[in-house]
Structure 1
Amino acid sequence: MNAITPTRRNFLQSASLVLGMTLPLGKAASAAPAQSGLPFAPNAFVRVSPDNLVTVIIKHVEFGQGPATGLATLVADEMDADWSQIRVEMSPANDPLYKNLAFGTMGTGGSTAIGNSWLQMRSAGASAKAMLVEAAAKRWGVPAASIKVSKGVVSSGRRKASFGELAADAAQLKPPEKPVLKTPDQFTLIGRDTPRVDSVAKTNGTAMFTMDIQRPGMVHSAIAHPPAFGGTVKSVIDSAALAVPGVLAVKTIPHGVVVYARDSYAARKGVAALDVTWDLSKAEKRTTEELYAQFAEAAETPGKPVEKTGDTAAALRGAAKKLEAVYQFPYLAHAPMEPLDAVLEMNGDRLDVWLGSQFQVGELTAIAATLGVPFEKATLHQQFAGGSFGRRVTPAMEFAVEAALAFKAWGKGPVKHVWTRENDIRGGRYRPLAVHVVRGGLDPSGKIVAWDQVVAAQSFMKGTPMEGPELKNKGIDDALTEGIAESYKFANHYVGQHIMEAGVPTLWWRSVGNTHTAYAVETFVDQLLEMAGKDPVAGRLELMEDPRTRAVLARAAEIAGWGSKPPAGRARGVAAWKSFGSYVAQVAEVSKGADGLPKVHKVWVAVDCGIAVNPNVIRAQMESGIGYGLGHALYSEVELGEGGIVKQENFDSYRSLRIAEMPAVEVAILASDANPTGVGEPGLPPIAPAVANAWRKLTGKAVRRLPFAVGGRA
């Protein structure tokens, strides 16, 4: 993303100057207050204070997925600290110290938080422990090998000392070049259900989000965006807006028309009172149905090959039985509970930004550049964020730039810039609309001898700083077809893609391309297996080559009692998918609801995500992925109507899953000695196809257009 970190920020590499923003975590798990001159800061991630608190610096944003807990667990286990003495702080925006090792810059996404930090955070903890042990050995005049550490207590015979008591001595020592890490059999916290560090604060309301930030003299800003993507402001009549009590000013910026007010209510009222004439001459005016038709026409042709094995066309011609399906997947909004927001303030020549940033250096760089402030004079105060699902970071950092422009246009003091729910739902950066055309063939024995799948969708990477070499040089965007070629292997297998052009801004959305590729593959293979007279689980196991995928499928079937008869009026469906390095299989039990849509009673899940750092967080993320994915599969779509105008505006028209609709979920975590992989996204892809497969078994209806509310009512 071309985010540049000035070299003057490299002073942070000095251990004595490790900085971080304290997360306000509440009384029962409160973060240590920021202190200067801490005696023991052995690396960028660990601090030990004289009061025996261990502060872990977290480089990933916490928006509910649990990295603050998981990363602190890695450090605490290697230090043999007591969990009660662990506190967390959010790191500053600094790439040399805190970059995501998978990205090359600071950022949270792709379910990489634990995976990219697995050895890094453990090494930080092990290094700190080694220095504390060495300090104790020198103080007591004993060999380091004779010293034990358990639950934050360092001991040798009858001698004992806390981390805090040894901190000053340890600070005088040199960190080991290669600290010795524990073997899995030595773990004391990793693999256990340790309490989340943010639960208490989020329960009692003391957790601070950007929405909670107040600054002296702060004004509130709201914005009116063009009604169609690609539109611009032509003229504004602001007299009615300025007449709203509390409204202070109206300004036009490239993104739209901004209203400034003494409070957020007045700002929103001011926006509603604006009379804006929009120039829509260059806007995207096609409707959803027109886009579907054009995408489907493209998907009928081979496109650029992603995988080509054998002669699929010939195998299809000679197949004893054939099946063809066209799948339609709508634009989807992310709809995080906390919409996009930021607070900006200048103090002299220094810039302060309060933001739940997903790509800290990228967003702070964009804001500073927009305002003409040197990066080294800008400080990001990282906050909790109320969800993201991919929305809080874009290749061009548009919201960060918009907030900076709104602040610059005001020019009189701090500004809190907040999107309304309508801004969010109608604001673009959606999960791309996609069409799949899939063809399959069976030989007389029921063996799948041909699989042909072509996807037509937009690329949100093309033409951006995040465009990779595969896309730039070969015109192939892995996100369009990810997982298809790896799911099952056939003698004659073709996967192709068309990158389509549309004026609707798109973006990664929880589990990215797997949101639609898993659905098309897992529902289509289910139908082929049925045509072959094979059981959905047994048939998949015959096709699968990866032992870890086979294991999660077998385990999910086992805990669901696959093969037993479900209650009257219900059916079960299954799906399995690998994404972000993790393997997940799900069995869904479904009945027909009063509204003619699937009612999901229970979902059984088996997951293999490598070593389970915190099983409770893993279970929570599987449940979360199921709830989020199910709600969108059943109800959600963003539709472009006449003139390309978005029809949906708020949760009344962009329907989410309600709490009473959430199914019971049972999660089995498979034991593994592999390094940890992601859990934030892999729980989502299997849920929609598992429900669809159960629904087809129950009603005979194959759902090929999502959401079910549009294409699956029975």
Structure 2
Amino acid sequence: MSIHSTSIHPSVSRRNFLAGSAAALGGLSLGFHIPFAGPALAQEAAAAPEINAWVVVKPNDTVVIRIARSEMGQGTLTGLAQLVAEELDCDWSKVTTEYPPPGENLRRNRVWGSYSTGGSRGIRDSHDYVRKGGAAARQMLISAAAARWNVPAGECTAASSVITHGPSGRTLRYGEVAEAAGRLTPSTEIALKDPKDWKIAGKPLPRLDTVDKLTGRQVYGADLKLPGMLNAAIKACPVMGGTLASFDANAVAGMPGVKKVVRVDDRSVAVVADTWWRAKTALDALPVTWEDGPNKDLSSAAIRRTLAEGLEAGDAFVGNSRGDAKGELARVAAAGGKVVTATYAFPYQNHATMEPMNATALWTAEKCEVWVPTQNGEASLAAAAEAAGLPVGQCEVYKLLLGGGFGRRGNFQDYVRQSVSIARQMPGIPVKLLWSREEDMLHGAYHPTTQAKLTGALDADGNLTALHLRISGQSILAAVRPEGMQGGMDPIVFQGLTASAPEGHLGYTVPNLLVDHAMRNPPVPPGFWRGVNLNQNAIYVECFIDELAHAAGAEPLAFRRKLMANHPRHLAVLEAAANGIGWQTPPAPGRFRGLGQIMGFGSYVAAAAEVSVVDGQLRIHRIVAATDPGHVVNPAQVERQVEGSFVYGLSACLYGECTVAGGRIEQENFDTYEVLRMAEMPAVETIMLPSGGFWGGVGEPTIAVAAPAVLNALFAATGKRYRTLPLKNHELS
């Protein structure tokens, strides 16, 4: 199937803490169990019966579908609801959703599975069990109706929230039998529909959260108001690794609205006031002394030198190897053959979510509650309990929709700990902590910086016989999740570069191949940034493949085709993108084209870009994207995700850069950390090629192909290779 659309447009780890806390509650089951009928959530208990953990049906036939994953603009909430509703066979017009609190998940043996939402896993990691939840609920509703009629359940069918007895034609609405259905034991044999028979899933249905966003009813964390709530503004030592030495609370105690000045942790101080602006104004006036610590002289130049040394280091972790790349490269060089070498670099980048970090906490000696926009409700719960000094069973987190996540609100729960620390010093009063934009920019978990040296050998016929890709730079896992390291190696560094892996592989067969990593970890905190390492890896590979094609005197698409004979899915999306841009026909005068492809997050993606350069100004006119995610749950949402991913990817390519001077990030707001403007956005065409048989991600993979497609088109336009990003640092001609 091909769908084509066009638009313009501190001491305890979280894991150990959760496991220990869950054990105190009766055990933590990590395996999935078919959803069971159990006690309803507090907000539904009096209003409607629960069919199972996923489905509540009210007497008026309203269907409440519970979603554990977080919604942050990517459409996961709607897509998961579509999958449940499809198997439930309910009336989509009566579907609504709610978040089950993560504390309830622990109390119910983790029936909703993982709450982590990142890595484009919202649907691809939960599609099976959420569909089973919907199918089990449908069977229970049918069984309840059959029991009322005293007929075999096999004689009954369900469609659009109505159960029909075939022989007699009698009908019952879901709302009429929901209470009885909720008392039944679900079958352990759950048959799921073939995707070709989908009527709700697979369709371009409107998102469930759009209306509330358009009308202003949607409450984000920054909007939340609770009775008697106070507001907190926070400031941490701007130098990475620095600490808070002292502050003079008396200097601001008499300022309007100020309630208290508190030490939050060893790095930060906060002012609590009746409004956030009064808190921020007092905080700006607060005399503070910082201990800058060991990193006060750190600079971008020093970091670049460290990484450059890694490019030539003798030892490195091997992520992919075939044949003898070094030997072949040496042989070709000694014989006077063609050896091509290039060095690329990718900078630090900030998540820069439109909604800065925030959380609202209410602490007493008996209970701690937190309202928070989070990508991982369970991680937020663990952080809240740790900061509260209470057992996890005496804490709860209420998830809110996120004004952007991009990885910042997942593994990193600093803002949750801070909010609880502040609330703990104001017992019985809800306190909302909201970071300023400057705090958000200065205290991120940044996309790591890397450099790459690529060396390739071409034989007399222009065939690529050897390729060595050396990456030098930071490991995210070493800093964030060291338990994920493999013998000291960070496998995530090699996203998109492996021979075969769930998170992506190269897509080219090279007789002699070596991909390795010289780990160099400067003290800038790294983090998972939307698309993670696939972003720079796609640039390194796809731009260098383009360089090799030109060095061989070959047409770039044809050169790639020869290397992709054993990778049909990679080739299919690449050719779809090329055909979509009109690769085989000349572009309009003054316009030039470029290609890029990669696999990541379980999906095959490619892009073709068309650009022009006039008077040193780059204009990106069109990008055609092709994606094969296996299955498409909502085509309209996939299209929007592709468009949004290009905004993110092109912003990084053109402008995104965090630099370091005096041990601190220099970019503190959007005036110095620019993003793509609407007028700069190219026309985007999305081609979907869902080949079935697997479930890939959507939100992140296509980010990676935006930059290489544009950079290769830029070479076609200028004859120059731009190997360091962002492009704002270069004069284009």
Report what 1:19 is aligned to.
Answer: 41
Q: Is the 2:380–2:416 contact (alpha carbons within 8 Å) kept by the matching residues of 1?
A: yes
Give the counterpart of 1:316 among 306, 329, 338: 329
> Runs of 4+ in structure 1 displaced over 3 angstroms?
7-14, 37-40, 95-101, 237-244, 409-412, 463-466, 711-714
Q: Is the 1:611–1:676 contact (alpha carbons within 8 Å) kept by the matching residues of 2?
A: yes
Secondary structure (helix, strand or coil) at the match of 1:35 reads: helix
Whole-Å separation in 2 of the counterparts to 1:465 and 1:527: 36
Report what 1:139 is aligned to.
Answer: 148
Report what 1:534 is aligned to.
Answer: 554
Mapping of residues 660-675 of structure 1, within 5 Å: 660-675=679-694
**Shift in Å at residue 200 of structure 1?**
0.5
**Shift in Å at residue 406 of structure 1?**
2.1
Q: Is the 1:522–1:575 contact (alpha carbons within 8 Å) kept by the matching residues of 2?
A: yes
Whole-Å separation in 2 of the counterparts to 1:567 and 1:277: 61
Give the counterpart of 1:214 among 222, 225, 228: 225
Whole-Å separation in 1 of the counterparts to 2:339 and 2:517: 22
Whole-Å separation in 2 of the counterparts to 1:372 and 1:39: 35
**Shift in Å at residue 310 of structure 1?**
2.1
AA aligned to 2:432 is: K
1:698–1:463 distance in 2 versus 1, CA, 3 Å: closer
Give the counterpart of 1:635 among 655, 674, 684: 655
AA aligned to 1:481 is: F
Whole-Å separation in 2 of the counterparts to 1:98 and 1:569: 62
Q: Is the 1:703–1:712 contact (alpha carbons within 8 Å) kept by the matching residues of 2?
A: no
Report what 1:520 is aligned to.
Answer: 540
Report what 1:569 is aligned to.
Answer: 590
1:571–1:415 distance in 2 versus 1, CA, 3 Å: same
AA aligned to 1:285 is: D
166-175 or 416-425: bigger deviation: 166-175
Report what 1:62 is aligned to.
Answer: 71
**Shift in Å at residue 100 of structure 1?**
10
**Shift in Å at residue 158 of structure 1?**
2.6
1:548–1:42 distance in 2 versus 1, CA, 3 Å: same
Q: Is the 2:627–2:690 contact (alpha carbons within 8 Å) kept by the matching residues of 1?
A: no
Instruction: Deviation per CA, 1:106-158: give whole Å up to 9, x if none.
Output: 31111111111111011111111111112222222333233222212111243
**Shift in Å at residue 452 of structure 1?**
0.8
Secondary structure (helix, strand or coil) at the match of 2:293 reads: coil
Give the counterpart of 2:392 among 367, 371, 375: 375
The question of 1:198 aligning with 2:214 is answered no
AA aligned to 1:65 is: Q
Give the counterpart of 1:365 among 373, 382, 395: 382
Q: Is the 2:37–2:184 contact (alpha carbons within 8 Å) kept by the matching residues of 1?
A: no
The question of 1:180 aligning with 2:191 is answered yes
Whole-Å separation in 1 of the counterparts to 2:201 and 2:25: 33
1:296–1:630 distance in 2 versus 1, CA, 3 Å: same
Q: Is the 1:237–1:275 contact (alpha carbons within 8 Å) kept by the matching residues of 2?
A: yes
Whole-Å separation in 1 of the counterparts to 2:308 and 2:539: 17
Whole-Å separation in 2 of the counterparts to 1:255 and 1:322: 51
Whole-Å separation in 1 of the counterparts to 2:517 and 2:129: 37
Secondary structure (helix, strand or coil) at the match of 2:72 reads: coil
1:572–1:78 distance in 2 versus 1, CA, 3 Å: same
Report what 2:320 is aligned to.
Answer: 307
**Shift in Å at residue 713 of structure 1?**
3.5
Mapping of residues 44-83 of structure 1, within 5 Å: 44-83=53-92
The question of 1:335 aligning with 2:352 is answered yes
Whole-Å separation in 2 of the counterparts to 1:98 and 1:590: 54
Q: Is the 2:355–2:404 contact (alpha carbons within 8 Å) kept by the matching residues of 1?
A: yes
AA aligned to 2:184 is: L
**Shift in Å at residue 587 of structure 1?**
0.6
Give the counterpart of 1:398 among 396, 414, 422: 414
Secondary structure (helix, strand or coil) at the match of 2:547 reads: helix
Instruction: Deviation per CA, 1:628-652: give whole Å up to 9, x if none.
Output: 11011101111002x2232111000
263-272 or 242-251: bigger deviation: 242-251
Q: Is the 2:244–2:268 contact (alpha carbons within 8 Å) kept by the matching residues of 1?
A: yes
**Shift in Å at residue 9 of structure 1?**
5.2
**Shift in Å at residue 238 of structure 1?**
4.4
Whole-Å separation in 2 of the counterparts to 1:469 and 1:484: 17
Secondary structure (helix, strand or coil) at the match of 1:548 reads: helix
Whole-Å separation in 2 of the counterparts to 1:173 and 1:111: 35
Give the counterpart of 2:714 among 673, 676, 695: 695
Secondary structure (helix, strand or coil) at the match of 2:673 reads: coil
Whole-Å separation in 1 of the counterparts to 2:614 and 2:603: 32
1:99–1:481 distance in 2 versus 1, CA, 3 Å: farther
Q: Is the 2:364–2:424 contact (alpha carbons within 8 Å) kept by the matching residues of 1?
A: no
Give the counterpart of 1:551 among 553, 566, 572: 572
TM-score, normalised via structure 1 length: 0.93
**Shift in Å at residue 233 of structure 1?**
1.4
Report what 1:423 is aligned to.
Answer: 439
AA aligned to 2:159 is: S
Q: Which runs of 5+ in 1 are unaligned?
A: 21-33
Secondary structure (helix, strand or coil) at the match of 1:577 reads: strand
Instruction: Deviation per CA, 1:164-205: give whole Å up to 9, x if none.
Output: 012123223221111221122321111111111101001111
1:516–1:645 distance in 2 versus 1, CA, 3 Å: same
1:293–1:469 distance in 2 versus 1, CA, 3 Å: closer
Whole-Å separation in 1 of the counterparts to 2:596 and 2:536: 13
The question of 1:276 aligning with 2:292 is answered no
Mapping of residues 252-271 of structure 1, within 5 Å: 252-253=263-264, 254-271=266-283
**Shift in Å at residue 372 of structure 1?**
1.3
Secondary structure (helix, strand or coil) at the match of 1:113 reads: coil
Report what 2:157 is aligned to.
Answer: 148
Q: Which runs of 5+ in 2 are unaligned?
A: 1-13, 29-34, 499-504
**Shift in Å at residue 421 of structure 1?**
0.8
TM-score, normalised via structure 2 length: 0.91
168-177 or 126-135: bigger deviation: 168-177
**Shift in Å at residue 271 of structure 1?**
2.1
1:322–1:661 distance in 2 versus 1, CA, 3 Å: same
Q: Is the 2:22–2:106 contact (alpha carbons within 8 Å) kept by the matching residues of 1?
A: no
Mapping of residues 106-117 of structure 1, within 5 Å: 106-117=115-126
Report what 1:622 is aligned to.
Answer: 642
The question of 1:681 aligning with 2:700 is answered yes
Report what 2:491 is aligned to.
Answer: 478
Q: Is the 2:368–2:388 contact (alpha carbons within 8 Å) kept by the matching residues of 1?
A: no
Whole-Å separation in 2 of the counterparts to 1:421 and 1:496: 37
385-394 or 684-693: bigger deviation: 385-394
Report what 1:458 is aligned to.
Answer: 474
Secondary structure (helix, strand or coil) at the match of 1:422 reads: helix
Q: Is the 1:80–1:152 contact (alpha carbons within 8 Å) kept by the matching residues of 2?
A: yes
Report what 1:653 is aligned to.
Answer: 672
Give the counterpart of 1:294 among 271, 295, 306: 306
Give the counterpart of 2:609 among 588, 592, 609: 588
Report what 2:511 is aligned to.
Answer: 491
AA aligned to 1:586 is: A
Q: Is the 2:411–2:480 contact (alpha carbons within 8 Å) kept by the matching residues of 1?
A: no
Secondary structure (helix, strand or coil) at the match of 1:167 reads: helix
Q: Is the 1:79–1:125 contact (alpha carbons within 8 Å) kept by the matching residues of 2?
A: yes
Whole-Å separation in 2 of the counterparts to 1:308 and 1:281: 41
Secondary structure (helix, strand or coil) at the match of 1:565 reads: coil
Secondary structure (helix, strand or coil) at the match of 1:461 reads: helix
Report what 2:464 is aligned to.
Answer: 448
The question of 1:413 aligning with 2:429 is answered yes
Secondary structure (helix, strand or coil) at the match of 1:429 reads: coil
AA aligned to 1:575 is: G
Report what 2:127 is aligned to.
Answer: 118
Whole-Å separation in 2 of the counterparts to 1:240 and 1:37: 51
1:412–1:348 distance in 2 versus 1, CA, 3 Å: closer
Whole-Å separation in 2 of the counterparts to 1:678 and 1:422: 32
1:593–1:393 distance in 2 versus 1, CA, 3 Å: farther
Secondary structure (helix, strand or coil) at the match of 2:642 reads: helix
1:338–1:98 distance in 2 versus 1, CA, 3 Å: farther
Q: Is the 1:364–1:378 contact (alpha carbons within 8 Å) kept by the matching residues of 2?
A: yes
